């Protein structure tokens, strides 16, 4: 079966690997263009492109899906099924009509909960104890299509975004691999989402990482474990931005473990305090 894969971030890499191992006929990898990264703004390929290069797949990086030029290229690949995982752009309707088996998407939440671009971080921010993976058909609306399969995944009380992200990526790849054979033969019946139960999440920004020390300790802890490494959590100290990179919650108390003063390297709090006898936790945020 001919498959075209749409994906950009590291979340999509395990799914691509799974499809490759299952020896599907992968006609092409569609990913976003290389982007400047880091302080030096070095042009950097997305993780899926790097994985595709290692595997020897044909790669496409259209700047837009809205013009006719790339659409004609997509049609020429003659996909029977398309798979989307963290691609980062809405797939136009006319693309959805090309593959005979349509498009399947891997979404890291139990839809219709947390439709949108930040479901993993939002689950952590809200202190949820479980989340999950949804394999769904793609339609014209964001994260709205009928559900093919779901799997619930418990969230550890101390789990951070990178750890949960990687676990969900692996779960998503496994679930995708398990459902495709039955899906394409019609043995699985898609179930419409209950729109009345839908909740939404948004793109998170640097401002979302600003710590309000007057809020409950557990909320601050969830903020730190959800928003690192990006967009990061931060406060101010002595007129400077102090990034809070890692913390733990012990007996209801927040223990800051790793910090980074603006323009400096991150360091353990114990080392940061050396030579700073004037530092007081009560001064944070001032």
Residue 195 half-sphere exposure toward CB, CA atoms < 13 A? 4
Q: How confident is the model at residue 15 (pLDDT cuts 50, 70, 90)?
A: very high
Reply yes or no on whether the pLDDT at 224 is more than 80. Answer: yes
Q: How confident is the model at residue 208 (pLDDT cuts 50, 70, 90)?
A: very high
**Which residue in this structure is represented by tokens 């550890």?**
156
21-25 long-range Cβ contacts below 8 angstroms, 24+ apart = 22/177, 22/180, 25/1
What pLDDT, in 10s, does the model give residues 168-187? Answer: 999 999 999 999 999 999 99
Backbone angles phi, psi at 282, to 5 degrees: -70, -15
* Nearest-angstrom CA–CA distance, 86 and 107: 8
User: 136 Cβ partners below 8 Å, 6+ apart?
Assistant: 104, 105, 107, 111, 143, 145, 146, 147, 148, 190, 193
The whole-number pLDDT of residue 38 equals 78
Quote the mean pLDDT of the chain: 95
Per the omega criterion (within 30 degrees of 0), is the bond before 229 cis?
Answer: yes
What pLDDT, in 10s, does the model give residues 72-113? Answer: 999 999 999 999 999 999 999 999 999 999 999 999 999 999
The whole-number pLDDT of residue 93 equals 96
What pLDDT, in 10s, does the model give residues 36-72? Answer: 887 788 999 999 999 999 999 999 999 999 999 999 9
């Amino acid at each position: 079966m001919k498959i075209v894969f749409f994906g950009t971030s590291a979340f999509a890499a395990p799914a691509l690997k799974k499809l490759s191992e299952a020896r599907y006929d992968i006609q092409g990898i569609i990913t976003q263009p290389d982007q400047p990264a880091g302080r030096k703004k070095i042009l950097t390929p997305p993780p899926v492109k790097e994985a595709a290069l290692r595997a020897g797949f044909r790669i496409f990086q259209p700047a837009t899906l809205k013009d006719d030029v790339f659409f004609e290229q997509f049609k020429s690949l003659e996909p029977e099924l398309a798979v989307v995982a963290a691609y980062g752009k809405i797939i136009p309707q006319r693309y959805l009509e090309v593959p005979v088996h349509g498009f399947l998407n891997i979404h890291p939440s139990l839809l219709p909960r947390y439709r949108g671009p930040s479901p993993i971080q939002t689950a952590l921010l809200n202190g949820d104890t479980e989340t999950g993976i949804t394999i769904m058909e793609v339609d014209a609306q964001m994260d709205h299509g009928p559900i093919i399969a779901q799997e619930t995944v418990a969230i550890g009380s101390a789990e951070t975004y990178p750890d949960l992200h990687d676990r969900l990526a692996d779960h998503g790849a496994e679930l995708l691999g398990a459902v495709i054979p039955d899906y394409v033969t019609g043995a699985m019946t898609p179930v419409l989402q209950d729109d009345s139960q839908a909740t939404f999440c948004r793109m998170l920004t640097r401002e979302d990482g600003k710590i309000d020390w007057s809020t409950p300790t557990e909320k601050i802890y969830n903020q730190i474990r959800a928003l690192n490494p990006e967009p990061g959590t931060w406060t101010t100290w002595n007129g400077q931005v102090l990034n809070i990179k890692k913390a733990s919650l012990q007996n209801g108390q927040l223990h800051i473990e790793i910090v980074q003063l603006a323009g400096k390297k991150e360091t353990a709090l114990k080392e940061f305090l050396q030579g700073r006898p004037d530092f007081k936790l009560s001064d944070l945020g001032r």
